Amino acid sequence: MSRRVTLFSTLFALLLTSAATQTSWAELRTDYCSQTFSTVCGDGASPQRDRDTRAATLRTRIQTEATAAARLETGLDPSTELGIMGTGLYWLSYMRHSRQAMLREATAIEIDSIHSNVARIKELLKRALDRQIRFGGWIGDLVNYRLKRKIEGVKILTLLDIEMLNLMRTASGVSISESYRRLCGPEGLTDQAFATTVEGKNYVVLCLGHLVGAIGAGSDSTSNFYNNLQVLAHEMAHFIDYGDYPELYGPYIGCLTDHYAMELPRPAGWTSTMTWMANHASTIDAHVRVTDRAVELTADYWATQTVLEYLREEGRSFSYEDKVRVLRESYAGYCSSPAGNDHPPGRFRVETLLGRDFGIQEIMQCSGLPLANLTPSCTLHGEVE
Ligand SMILES: [Zn+2]
């Protein structure tokens, strides 16, 4: 009897110990798996506000420096009445100095966050292609080979590259330089990245505003890598997205249409006929909500798979907090981004495209939790329960 009691109490103690150690893990896991958005984005608005603050700090620094240099060079004080000639002279000087300051700031950050990371992020994306494209046979191999060649061929341009191209007055230089000014803003400080094809060559550009949005404002190498991991993969994936390869994404788009279309708002600018049709046929409604954004949805797919490859590679040595940090810093720019006609709302990109991804759920140890399997994960091969 007494032996049995001892055995029972030992078992009970063991159970208690394992319950205690598992509680903290279970709590942590549940956070990401059941509350993906708040785990990655907090209250939703803060990550972007922090990114904007870092860009604003740099903007002030550039403006202060350019103002001082322009005053010194022209001997003019912009707070006084300068007249047309004086104003023109002052602003030309100001613009030149602010360009120089911006270029110097950008080059330091670009070396650390672009030059050191592009090769690695390309490798991760290509590994994701190897893992995902398994049609079998030579057609699958050929598609995979062609897509990887495209990724290899993408050139990531820094601001210095763009300045050089622009100085040479090449058609592509002028065109990319104009795109940079339009999309990145006069000081380059918009939190943006873009992909463009000029004269048959594929380019990706990360605005200075995106680079400086990283935690540490560009001086923390790990944050610089996380800041670019998802975004660079997304932009490079635009050269292999639904626009060029619709046949590749049939099952993926079908799965999103079946399960998640209603989480996407209707694209703006529908005619009354479209609205009438959509109101009467839910399949049309769902189809349009997804296919109108298919280019962005499929670029996001590869971005998630690239982040996943990184976590698979590093995950063994990562704590749960380390993995959450990767996701937070890679997706911070999406947390409060609104829906556009091309882009899905940021919340959908984080909660559904990232949060429902089967591979990420596995890495974050969501399997076995009832919430994780309520909705299917969409892959290139269709849905995974
Ligand atoms: Zn995009």
pLDDT, position 151: 97
Strand 155-157 vs strand 201-206: parallel, antiparallel, or unpaired?
parallel
Does the predicted TM-score (pTM) go above 0.75? yes
Question: Which residues, in sequence order, are CB contacts of 326 under 8 Å at separation 6+?
Answer: 226, 229, 307, 310, 311, 318
Q: Give distance in angstroms: CA of 233 to centre of ligand 1.
A: 10
Closest CA to 126 of 149, 148, 145: 148
CB 41 within 8 A of CB 335: yes
Amino acid at 282: S
Rounded to 10 deg, the angle between the 294-314 and 221-237 helix axes is 140
Tokens of 30: 């549940």
Alpha helices in the chain, H assignment, sequence order: 2-34, 36-41, 46-74, 83-110, 118-132, 137-153, 159-167, 171-184, 208-211, 221-237, 250-259, 272-280, 282-291, 294-314, 320-331, 346-348, 358-363
pLDDT, position 97: 94
Q: Give distance in angstroms: CA of 199 to centre of ligand 1.
A: 20
Q: Give distance in angstroms: CA of 44 to centre of ligand 1.
A: 20
Mean pLDDT, consecutive 10-residue stretches, the chain (385 aa), reads 39 40 46 91 93 94 94 91 91 92 90 93 95 71 90 94 86 89 89 93 95 93 96 97 93 94 84 78 84 94 97 89 95 89 90 93 77 73 81
Beta bridge partner(s), residue 197: 202
Q: Give distance in angstroms: CA of 238 to centre of ligand 1.
A: 7
Q: Give distance in angstroms: CA of 185 to centre of ligand 1.
A: 18
CA gap 125, 132 in Å, rounded:
10
Tokens of 282: 């839910």
Q: Give distance in angstroms: CA of 210 to centre of ligand 1.
A: 14
CA gap 316, 311 in Å, rounded:
8
Q: How many CB atoms lie within 10 A of CB 104?
A: 13
Q: Give distance in angstroms: CA of 194 to centre of ligand 1.
A: 7
Q: Give distance in angstroms: CA of 235 to centre of ligand 1.
A: 6
CA gap 314, 168 in Å, rounded:
42
Q: Give distance in angstroms: CA of 295 to centre of ligand 1.
A: 7
Domain residue extents for the chain:
32-45+242-384, 46-219+226-236
pLDDT, position 34: 85
Q: Give distance in angstroms: CA of 321 to centre of ligand 1.
A: 28
CB 356 within 8 A of CB 376: yes
CB 190 within 8 A of CB 183: yes
CA gap 273, 280 in Å, rounded:
11
Q: Give distance in angstroms: CA of 173 to centre of ligand 1.
A: 22
Q: Give distance in angstroms: CA of 350 to centre of ligand 1.
A: 14
Q: Give distance in angstroms: CA of 80 to centre of ligand 1.
A: 45
Q: Give distance in angstroms: CA of 15 to centre of ligand 1.
A: 50
